Amino acid sequence: MIRILEFETVEPAEILNRNLRGEAGVDAAVDAILKRVRRDGDAALREYTRRFDGVELTELQVSQEELEAARDGLDPDFRRTLELAAENIRTFHERQVQRDFVIAEQPGVVMGQRYTPIERVGICVPRSPEAFPSTILMNVIPARIAGVREVVLVTPPGPDGTVSPEALAAAAIAGADRIFKVGGAQAVAALAYGTESIPQVDKIVGPGGIFVATAKRKVFGQVAIDMIAGPSEILVLADGLCDPAWVAADLLSQAEHDVLASPVLVTDSRPLAEQVQLELERQLETLPRREIARRSVEDHGRIIVTGSLEQAAEAANLIAPEHLELCVEDPFALLPLVKNAGSIFLGRCTPEALGDYFAGPNHTLPTSGTARFSSPLGVDDFVKKSNFLYYTQEALTSVAAHVAEFARREGLEAHARAAEIRCGRSGRKGE
């Protein structure tokens, strides 16, 4: 049963599971996988797919025939659902596009900033038990809006050696270029280093388990990554007027992800806390993934009782959750008090699941308290910025003395001379 705690008696570190280092032995296992894939390429990928996924593959890439079969066999109603979700995601992320700017306010001086897309991006999509179509939409669509030239998708094959029709249809709708039936740390290695079949990418994004997260951490620098994701988190901030069944259902929506997930309720109502505690037990009995959800609730779930909604917001900021639901009478009044959260869901009729699948804002979010300083995945993750600067001879001459003085104050004589030599001086100090 989930525990009920008083806010004054707990520390944030005691509330959420925030172990990013994983289990003993994971680092060594991932090191071995990265080394083997870098050395043996596709042969290593086939061996790891046979060992970890129980599938013998001759071709790692999803064929055109497989894509067409998935498209033709997909339920039309679900295709329409995918298309509507994709439309919502595009609409939201198109607003994130940054614009180049130029400043030419001083005579002879032009400066500015330009945005260019990353050339090639790899997207990891986990399978549980099938590749997540929602993750495909949420990762591929912002990359496409950003202008990424090639989007490469990797996901583990199912027991029959295929990728689900739902996932393939989502990839086609979102605009993925190539899809490979590879998962785990070996997929990260393939994207980072390249193999005979899988091209080397410039950035790797997308969620995964501890092996994927560890591999992403280890290849950072060889390639860019989006984030190192920890276990899923939800914090429901609720007042005493909430339906306890609704609150329990939202907590379980994250608990069923993983035994390490953290479902947390913060409320100013002790009666609601006790009702949700009982309701969780009732709903767990009929949940298909009840064993996973129960371990999550019992090991990492918490109900925290505060003295007021303002104190509840303080608790939320200390925890900095991945998902934050404001299930209160006036969520917009409470919103200005929220400083740290990956994504915020306002009101009693906005469950976290709405954002996971359909509404439009991205569901790839900072976990493990990193919402204190990081942001959801978006278009910005797929572009890079370059500054540019232009000075005429006259403009440089007018400021060269300032540049040279600055440089010499820092003990960098060559810097000073580089400015002065263009302005009719010898470039030597004192001349």
pLDDT tens digits, one per residue of 190-241: 999 999 999 999 999 999 888 999 999 999 999 999 998 888 999 999 999 9
pLDDT, mean of residues 143-164: 95
Read off the amino acid at residue 408.
R
Query: Are 278 and 269 contacting, i.e. CB atoms less than 8 angstroms apart?
Result: no
Phi-psi region of 414 (alpha: psi -120 to 50; beta: other; left: phi over 0): alpha
Residue 429 has pLDDT above 90, yes or no: no
Measured distance CA(277)–CA(286) in Å, rounded:
16
Catalytic (active-site) positions:
322-323
Instruction: Kindly report the CATH number that applies to the domain delimited by 230-373.
Output: 3.40.50.1980
Q: pLDDT exceeding 70 applies to what percent of the chain?
A: 95
Inform me whether the pLDDT recorded for 20 exceeds 90.
no
How far apart are the C-alpha atoms of 59 and 157, rounded to whole Å? 12
pLDDT (tens digit per residue) in 233-274: 999 999 999 999 999 999 999 999 989 899 999 999 999 999
Tell me how far the alpha carbon of residue 315 is from its chain's centroid: 23
- Determine the 3-state secondary structure of 116 from DSSP: strand
Among 17-26, 135-144, 235-244, 406-415, the range scoring the smallest mean pLDDT is: 17-26
Q: What is the mean pLDDT of residues 412-427?
A: 87
Q: For position 127, what pLDDT does the model report?
A: 84
pLDDT digit string, tens, across residues 283-338: 999 999 999 999 999 999 999 999 999 999 999 999 999 999 999 999 999 999 99
Backbone angles phi, psi at 386, to 5 degrees: -125, 135
- CATH 3.40.50.1980 segments of the chain: 26-225, 230-373
Q: Specify the CATH number of the domain 26-225.
A: 3.40.50.1980
Q: Which residues pair with 115 in a beta bridge?
A: 385
> How many CB atoms sit inside 10 A of residue 411's CB?
7
pTM beyond 0.85, yes or no: yes
Q: Which is more confidently placed, 429 or 380?
A: 380
Predicted confidence at residue 13, as pLDDT, reads: 63
Distance separating alpha carbons of residues 48 and 157, to the nearest angstrom: 12
